[in-house]
Structure 1
Amino acid sequence: MLVRVLIASGLCLAGINLAAVSSFVVSLTAVVLLAFVEPLFLRLWGTTPGKALLGMRLTGPDGKNVPYTEGLARYFLMMWYGQGFEIPVWSLIQGYRSVRRCWDDEPQPWDVEVAYIAKPFRARYGVGLVLATLLVLTAGEAANSWSQTPPNRGDVTVAEFAENYNRQADYLGFGGRTYLDETGQWQEEPGNPNAVTVGDFGIEPWPEARELHFTLEDGHITAITLTGTIENVEEGVDTPNGLVPRIVMSLAWGREEASFWSLARQAQMTELERRDWSKDFVIHQPGVVITSDIQQSGLSYHANSFCDWHAEQPENALSFTYTVALDNG
């Protein structure tokens, strides 16, 4: 677990989102890394972190630390006979066989030429193991949470906000080829001319609805607004309320008022996703106030923020203003 958390933390700190990495790749990397680390620990100290926390040492028959080559051979035997090299199904079979050997008081194949030295069990060993586990998991979650923080923190200019948005879009995997330039205007990266792509915002026929309007004070952003008005829609039309959570994570997650931990941030996003964006509301979240102001007639709202035209009432209108404002109070 310690090695896997270290690998996961390293990926986060390197700017690689764990959601985009296969768990099998992490497990395989851990297996390879442990092949070097575990024999080294046994050679130098005769124990590993887990064994040390439980008051255990492992030596050769002569009482000396296991040589590195023998520790390496023991590791591969343990991975095959004990964990089946993490191969699906086979690992469960090998694990079951290991349990049966324990029940039958038989030595494990990887421990035939070694001796265990264990101190009498003390409650502090169990407490230490639990505390160490919590420490490792907390450190891993801290790395994960830090990796979701935008590069520019505190008060930001339009250019810094654009950099934050583009980084969050790249790390969290939204936005497609659309990005913000340093003036806060939407741009689109050229794509494969032979590929058929679907826009991320439903640009047509209402591109002005997704334009960001910035309120500045001393050159720094105090609010970002999305606004639009349309009448007599003959088909459905998308509103850009899906942009609001992305604005929040790019503008507010780097501020002191924002929670550092990813679970609190996810709860913040969930609250926005569950809101009924067809109605007026004001939400106070850490560091920001999100406002929805909707005026509409002849349209119905669906969960995907889609306004559908009523055939029996051809005249319709929609006007909205979404605002994300800093809350310094």
Structure 2
Amino acid sequence: MTIREIEELSGMTRANIRFYEKEGLITPERNSNGYRNYSEEDLSILKRIRLLRTLHLSLEDIKSLSRNEQELAGLLIRHLTALKKEQQALAHFVKVCEQLCKDRAVYSSFDAQYYLDLLDTSASELPAELKEDAIPKVTSPWVRYFARSIDAAMYMILWNMFLSLVLHINIMETGFAGLVADIIAYNCLFLLAEPFILSRFGTTPGKFLFGLRVTAETGARLTHGEALHRTWTVLKKGCGFNLPVYWIIRTYKSYRACKDGEILDWEQETLLWLNDRYIPLKVSVSLVSLTLINTLSLILVWQAGALPQNRGDLTVEQYAENFNDMERYFSIDRQLNLPGNITVYGIVTIDDSRLILNKDGAWEKIPGTPYITGTAENYAELPQLDYTVEDGVMTGLNFSASCENEDITIASYGDLMAVSALAFLCAQDDYRLLPAAPTFIYAQIKASGDSFSSFKISEAGVTISCTVEYDGYELRPDTWSQSRVLVPAYGSEPSFSINFSVTKA
């Protein structure tokens, strides 16, 4: 039978029938055209449901009957007992109402306590009506958590932008000190931004996406002081100041308290409201969007940190500043003619022995830092960079190195070539972060350099090329480091040459 027919026969509305189908109480078949075809059994079930619901049985009880989890007779006996207790309570209510009428009680002056005593109920026992007469407590811990995550991502993006764009720090290589700085910075941003946003708009970006807003108990917008007190309590009791491990403990405890409907510490004097329309859709869309936006923003901010301070037409002095900044950004702390993690005579590790370029573009050591003059291996010297300059503006640079029949170990020139190229390429007006991000170009050049392979790259009107030729050498791990180097083969007449150039079209 059709939906219209079963509506008439069951005495239920279409909305009722669809609801009970959604709850799994009836399962109509579908015709070939996709329309539902209700059976006599479906009709019988709907009539049973109508009767039992009219008798005030709960939907959960009816579901348990349909799953054969309990017998109807036992359920009715328990329900009958509850109805009789309710009947007795109603009799008390009737008597009190009659007494109020006899006493001609006036709302503004009658003694409520006298009549409460007549009801003979416990003061701690709230009637169902009073339980309903309350501002609904927003639980939804996952909705609240995701809303908080969006706000946290926003604050961390701002912090990473400062590190990357202002301080030119590689945000992917900050180590333990960076973690500590991140925690302190996030807490400070949270305390500064959240009270301001809440007191001005009554919500935050994350809360807004999930239909959440915060007000005072009067329903008015929070003052800045109230918002600050709430934010501080959230940071302390809800997030545990974002300290590792402790943050997990505080978050879990907050989750359990929220799920159990408890009033959280930061909700003592404020109210959280939830517009729960389309929450599942909002959660899905917001999570996907958050992941994409956060990932893209992190990549862009990370790569933007590698952009040099000097852009456009460069002098040699400006190029030298870019080169030195690039060395620091990519955490290069050694002389670029030596392999990574080199030790002096195989014993002492030098933490920062790198050379930098002076204003004339020549190598010089950093004042107050060590400079390696001897190692257990005889490594090739660091080649000097040569610059092509027209009217005081650089149009390119190059270096070359060669050796023949010498007992010299040759370390990779990958880092030298990558830093030299990026210091010039990333300064060009036509250069764009995407798709040729600095870190990706660096990795491409370094990979070719570490394998002693020739390559050619063109980007933003700049051509980066390298030609490597060698014979009589073996490529193998270095004795004093984990890097691969070229070592003369026993009994051979080794020869090596490299020509590297960066030219602007």
In the other structure, the counterpart of 1:72 is 228
Match of 1:308, SS?
strand
Question: What SS class does the counterpart of residue 310 from structure 2 fall into?
Answer: coil
SS of residue paired to 2:214? strand
Q: 1:51 aligns with which of 185, 192, 207?
A: 207
CA drift of 1:219 comes to 4.4
- Measure the CA separation in 1 of the matches of 2:469 and 2:475: 12
1:12 is matched with 164
Conserved? CA contact 2:354–2:366, under 8 Å: yes
User: d(CA) in 1 for partners of 2:377 and 2:267?
Assistant: 65
1:46 to partner: Cα distance: 2.2
CA drift of 1:263 comes to 7.4
Is the Cα contact below 8 Å between 1:53 and 1:129 reproduced in 2? no
* Aligned residues of 1:225 and 1:321 also touching (Cα < 8 A): no
User: Do the aligned partners of 1:6 and 1:140 also contact (CA within 8 Å) in 2?
Assistant: no
How far, CA to CA, are the matches of 2:443 and 2:286 in structure 1? Answer: 36
Q: Could you tell me how far apart the structure 1 residues matched to 2:308 and 2:271 are? A: 51
User: Structure 1 8/241 Cα, relative in aligned 2: closer, same or farther at 3 Å?
Assistant: closer
Contact 1:150 1:253 in 2 (8 A): yes
How far residue 245 of structure 1 moved from its aligned partner, in angstroms, is 0.5
Q: Distance in 1 between matches of 2:221 and 2:449?
A: 65
Task: Give the alignment's Cα RMSD to 1 decimal.
Answer: 3.4
Decide which of 360, 365, 368 is 1:191's aligned counterpart.
368
Match of 1:210 among 355, 378, 383: 383
C-alpha contact 1:164 1:250 (8 A) present in aligned 2: yes
3-state DSSP of counterpart to 1:259 = coil
8 Å contact kept, 2:365–2:371: no
Structure 1 residues 147-203: Cα deviation after superposition (integer angstroms, max 9, x where no partner): 3212333343333322221222234332545111232211113325xxx6547x999
- Amino acid in the other structure paired with 2:470: Q
Q: Which runs of 5+ in 1 are unaligned?
A: none
The equivalent residue for 1:324 is 501
C-alpha distance 7-63 of structure 1, shift in aligned 2 (>3 A): same
Q: Which residue of 1 aligns with 2:443?
A: 270
Check whether the contact 2:378–2:409 (CA below 8 A) recurs between aligned residues: no
- Contact residue 241 and residue 305 of structure 1 kept, 8 A: no
Q: How does 1:167-246 map to 2 (within 5 A)?
A: 167-174=325-332, 176-191=353-368, 198=372, 206-207=380-381, 209-238=382-411, 240-246=413-419
Structure 2 unaligned blocks of 5 or more? 1-152, 334-352, 478-482
Q: Secondary structure at the match of 1:88?
A: coil
* Secondary structure in 2 matching 1:150: coil
Is the radius of gyration larger for structure 1 or structure 2?
Answer: 2
**Does the 8 Å CA contact 2:358/2:364 hold for their aligned counterparts?**
yes
Contact 1:15 1:171 in 2 (8 A): no
CA distance in structure 1 between the aligned counterparts of 2:412 and 2:252, rounded to whole angstroms: 55
Instruction: Give the AA of the match of 1:317.
Output: P
Q: Which residue of 2 aligns with 1:307?
A: 486
CA distance in 1, matches of 2:323, 2:471: 33
Q: Distance in 1 between matches of 2:322 and 2:222?
A: 51
- In 2, distance between residues paired with 1:129 and 1:205? 53
**Pairing 1:10-49 to 2, within 5 Å after superposition:** 10-17=162-169, 18=171, 19-20=173-174, 22-49=178-205
Q: Name the structure, 1 or 2, with higher relative contact order (CA <8 Å, separation 6+).
A: 1
Residue by residue over 1:65-123, the C-alpha shift from the partner in whole angstroms, topping out at 9 and shown as x without a partner, is: 23333333322332233222212222212212222223323232321332223334247
Q: Partner residue of 2:456?
A: 283
Distance, in Å, in 1 between the alignment partners of 2:364 and 2:371 is 15
**Which amino acid letter does the alignment assign opposite residue 471 of structure 2?**
S
Provide the C-alpha distance between the structure 2 equivalents of 1:79 and 1:322, rounded to a whole number of angstroms.
57
Equivalent residues of 2:323, 2:357 under 8 A apart = yes
User: Residue 238 of structure 1 aligns to a residue in which SS?
Assistant: coil
> 1:249: how far off?
0.9
Q: Which amino acid letter does the alignment assign opposite residue 151 of structure 1?
A: Q
Q: Could you tell me how far 1:142 is from its partner in structure 2? A: 4.2
CA drift at 1:51: 1.7
Q: Which structure is higher in strand share?
A: 1
* Conserved? CA contact 1:4–1:27, under 8 Å: no
After superposition, where does 1:139-154 map in structure 2 within 5 Å?
Answer: 141-154=299-312
Q: Output the CA distance in 1 between the equivalents of 2:212 and 2:273.
A: 6
CA contact (8 A) 2:473 2:488 kept: yes
Give the Cα–Cα distance (whole angstroms) in 2 for the partners of residues 157 and 150 of structure 1. Answer: 13
Alignment TM-score, normalising by the size of structure 2: 0.56
Instruction: State whether residues 417 and 446 of structure 2, in contact with CA within 8 Å, keep that contact through their aligned partners in structure 1.
Output: no
- 1:260-309: CA deviations, max 9, x gaps? 14973222122222226565523224144333333333211236352212
**Contact 1:161–1:251 (CA<8 Å) still a contact in 2?**
yes
SS in 2 for 1:214: strand
Partner of 2:428: 255
Aligned to 2:137: none
The 2-side partners of 1:45 and 1:293 are apart by: 61
Which of 183-192 and 1-10 deviates more? 183-192
- How many residue pairs align between the two structures? 322
